[in-house]
Amino acid sequence: MLHGPLDRRDLRTRTGRTASDLRRALGAELKRTRLDAGLSLRGLARAADVTPSHLSEIERGIAEPSLAVLASLARVLGADVSIRLFPGTGPRIRDRLQAPMVEALLREAHPSWKRLVEVPVWRPVRGVIDAVIARPGDLVVAIEVHSELHRLEQQLRWAREKADALPSVEAWSMLLAGAPTVSVSLMLVLRSTRANRDLAKAFETTFRAAYPARTADAIRALRDPAVPWPGPALIWAETAAGAARILDRPPRSVNVGR
């Protein structure tokens, strides 16, 4: 309930800040998707029947696109677009299969690993890392968890950008545990489905470049703090009846991580 002018001004201030944050996030995501598609700003504007100046303002978070403009841009980019209201309480994990996969992975981790889930980063990019684990004074691993993987190149770049933004996390000093610097590594956890396995086979060289460590070595390091961390790793999980299980090795048809 609003009780007076101060309440209304406070609401307007918070609403304005939220709207500004949404515009900037939408603009950044639109620009990333456009660049992923190899389109110039003028090329996308022409195809979507939008003026280049308006599209530029949208990407910079200055202008707020109408739903029709947003739908037109998404159609040209071959992207899905939706607008939803999310509850403000409860877990933020959004994929119904993501939660059990995160749970299964954290169960595999030795108790000495510090762990955080749904970790927001702010600078230089804004986003949420699905999970972060840290070996005190030594290593921080940014973990992305997906039951389905779309737009591979964008996902790989976005995972790296969010990992680079980890120092902006409020708990960064806790993750450092007194050490002046730590190494930041990556982990991608994929659900073992035919689509994901086919993707890993079709883009084997790309996956190997992004996640060169052997899966078995990463699992051993996860379970045993005495085992050196092997570097960025691709981990697989199986799901059934709402539960997940982390695989010690890649699926038989997949060579990445062997």
Average pLDDT over every residue of 66-92:
74
CB 102 within 8 A of CB 116: no
Model pTM? 0.66
β-pair partners for 146: 190
CA angle 21, 130, 39 (to 5 degrees): 55
**Confidence (pLDDT) at 1:** 41
The ranges assigned to domains in the chain are 5-77, 98-246
Burial class, 118, CB count within 10 angstroms (exposed 0-12 / middle 13-18 / buried 19+): middle
Cα 155 to Cα 219: distance, rounded to the nearest angstrom: 22
Cα 193 to Cα 199: distance, rounded to the nearest angstrom: 10
Q: pLDDT for 155-164, tens place per residue?
A: 888 889 889 9
Architecture of the CATH domain 5-77 = Orthogonal Bundle (1.10)
**Confidence (pLDDT) at 224:** 94
Cα 30 to Cα 34: distance, rounded to the nearest angstrom: 6
Cα 165 to Cα 247: distance, rounded to the nearest angstrom: 29
Higher pLDDT, 37 or 23: 23
Cα 95 to Cα 164: distance, rounded to the nearest angstrom: 24
β-pair partners for 253: none
Q: pLDDT for 207-246, tens place per residue?
A: 999 999 999 999 999 999 899 999 999 999 999 888 899 9
Domain at 98-246: CATH code: 3.40.1350
User: DSSP secondary-structure letter at 93?
Assistant: -
The most confident of 29-43, 146-160, 165-179, 229-243, by mean pLDDT: 229-243
